[in-house]
């Protein structure tokens, strides 16, 4: 059994402090949504359709997913620290490229390279699993993501305000400054928790088949993928819905876009407080049920013609609440199935739910029209949320089979 290590802030001889882990996860999350209120202005700046600029979400998520397949095995082979620092440096270079991009095509290329910051998100989870076992990891991941959720809670609001005052580039200057702060803190605080292994990269990659043939790993990973897919569909469709259907201004849209992060914060708090008492699997099922119920309620309001911006974003808060209860436990569960492959599991699981999110985000953005109102978006989100319940039930069934055999 792992013994919880001693941690001292800004001491490279110990594992990273929880503050550093929160920043690693938080800046990754901020990169995803801080600029969303600026998308309409960016489409005018680059003289292109909104659907083209909306691809900046889907492309970021798609590259994010691909990188996670590499980050996990690389960190298992060479250690967490060098891979983490390399990812942050790539992010900083790409952010400058996005600010000075002369065309929409170059911007989208730089946006894809910004996905290097996902290294921080993936390794924050792997490092937690290096430090503590099982449900303790779920509890610690919940507290890390609770702190992290404060960032996307306020990021769209700040992004919308900055855009209205200084233009769309200001959101990316904010990201660059945050990346510099993260690089400095990681350099001086993050001790190595998974030293370089003696095996080859080929040996490390053998972890993929071992994980993909584990039904429990797949159940946990698919539960996280479909639950987060509902949120990513929201990210892909909500800016269009808010500006075109509801007629919200950029700063007001930025304020409302923080709604799911508020719910996510409180969901993480509940996961951190009650996971050890209730158990990972039951917490996953409770969270998935809340997600599905909130989306179904919002869809019903649209179908009867009673939906308002306030009702839509208020119910999305409960989607965030359910995700906050579910995701730390799904992630910790996927990392705990094969503890010796924690980095590979973090990367593969992350690729699955970020990749699914990229598909749903792009799909939601492409099918929305002013005539469809919010019903198309909410149908996509409801199907994703409902699927997460089935994936969680599969995990429960597999554990009963293993226990009885």
The label of the residue with tokens 């993480």 reads 268
Condensed to tens digits (0 to 9), the pLDDT of residues 263-285 reads 988 998 898 888 888 888 999 99
State mean pLDDT over 331-339. 81
State mean pLDDT over 91-110. 95
Give CA–CA dist 87/119, Å, rounded.
5
Give CA–CA dist 204/197, Å, rounded.
9
pLDDT of residue 262: 86
Contact between residue 301 and residue 374 where contact means Cβ atoms under 8 Å apart: no
Contact between residue 263 and residue 324 where contact means Cβ atoms under 8 Å apart: yes
CA distances from 65 to 40, 157, 357 (A): 26, 26, 9
Closest CA to 92 of 75, 112, 114, 72: 114
Give CA–CA dist 377/338, Å, rounded.
36
Closest CA to 288 of 382, 150, 400: 382
State mean pLDDT over 44-64. 85
Cβ-defined contacts of 80-84 (< 8 Å, 24+): 80/123, 80/126, 80/127, 80/130, 80/190, 80/192, 80/193, 80/194, 80/343, 81/190, 81/191, 81/192, 83/119, 83/123, 84/24, 84/119, 84/120, 84/123, 84/186, 84/190
CATH ID of 18-194+203-404, from 1.20.1250.20, 1.10.3720.10, 3.90.226.10, 3.40.50.1970: 1.20.1250.20
The label of the residue with tokens 């509902």 reads 230
- Lowest-confidence region among 141-155, 250-264, 323-337, 378-392: 141-155
pLDDT of residue 173: 96
pLDDT of residue 152: 67
Contact between residue 215 and residue 337 where contact means Cβ atoms under 8 Å apart: no
pTM above 0.75, yes or no: no
Furthest CA-CA distance within the chain: 64
Q: How far is CA 43 from the centre of its chain?
A: 25
Contact between residue 241 and residue 256 where contact means Cβ atoms under 8 Å apart: no
pLDDT of residue 40: 83
In the predicted model, what is the mean pLDDT of the chain?
84
Instruction: Supply the DSSP symbol for 245.
Output: I
Question: DSSP states of 297-353 as a string?
Answer: HHHHHHHTT---HHHHHHHHHHHHHHHHHHHHHHHHHHHHSSGGGHHHHHHHHHHHH
pLDDT of residue 387: 92
State mean pLDDT over 27-49. 88
pLDDT of residue 290: 96
The label of the residue with tokens 């099918």 reads 367
Contact residues for 138 (Cβ-Cβ < 8 A; gap 6+) = 271, 275, 280, 283, 328, 329, 331, 332, 333
Question: Helices 342-367 and 50-78: crossing angle, nearest 10°?
Answer: 170
């Amino acid at each position: 059994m792992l013994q919880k290590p001693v941690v001292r802030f800004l001491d490279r001889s110990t594992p990273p402090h929880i503050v550093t882990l929160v920043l690693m996860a938080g800046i990754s999350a901020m990169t995803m949504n801080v600029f969303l209120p600026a998308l309409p202005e960016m489409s005018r700046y680059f003289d292109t359709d909104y659907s083209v600029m909306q691809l900046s979400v889907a492309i970021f998520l798609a590259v994010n997913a691909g990188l996670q397949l590499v980050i996990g095995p690389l960190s298992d082979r060479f250690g967490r620290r060098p891979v983490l620092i390399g990812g942050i440096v790539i992010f900083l270079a790409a952010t400058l490229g996005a600010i000075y991009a002369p065309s929409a095509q170059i911007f989208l290329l730089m946006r894809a390279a910004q996905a290097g910051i996902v290294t921080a998100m993936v390794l924050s989870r792997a490092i937690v699993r290096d430090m503590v076992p099982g449900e303790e990891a779920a509890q610690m991941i919940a507290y890390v993501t609770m702190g992290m959720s404060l960032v996307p809670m306020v990021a769209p609001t700040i992004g919308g305000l900055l855009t209205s005052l200084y233009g769309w580039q200001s959101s990316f200057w904010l990201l660059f400054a945050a990346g510099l702060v993260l690089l400095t803190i990681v350099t001086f605080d993050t001790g190595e928790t998974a030293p370089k292994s003696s095996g080859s990269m080929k040996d490390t990659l053998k972890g993929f088949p071992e994980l993909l043939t584990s039904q429990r790993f797949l159940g946990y990973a698919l539960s996280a993928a479909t639950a987060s897919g509902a949120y990513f569909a929201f990210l892909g469709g909500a800016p269009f819905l808010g500006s075109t259907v509801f007629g919200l201004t950029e700063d007001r849209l930025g304020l409302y876009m923080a709604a799911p992060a508020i719910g996510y914060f409180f969901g993480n708090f509940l996961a951190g407080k009650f996971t050890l008492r209730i158990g990972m699997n039951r917490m996953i099922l409770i969270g998935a049920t809340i997600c599905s119920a909130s989306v179904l309620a919002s869809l019903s309001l649209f179908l009867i013609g009673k939906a308002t911006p306030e009702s839509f974003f208020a119910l999305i808060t409960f989607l965030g609440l359910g995700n906050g209860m579910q995701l730390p436990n799904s992630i910790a569960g996927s990392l705990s199935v094969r503890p010796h492959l924690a980095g590979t599991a973090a990367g593969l699981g992350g690729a699955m739910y970020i990749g699914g999110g990229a598909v749903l985000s792009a799909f939601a953005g492409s099918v929305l029209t002013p005539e469809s109102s919010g019903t198309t978006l909410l149908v996509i989100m409801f199907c994703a949320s409902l699927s997460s319940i089935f994936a969680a039930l599969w995990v429960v069934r597999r554990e009963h089979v293993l226990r009885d055999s």
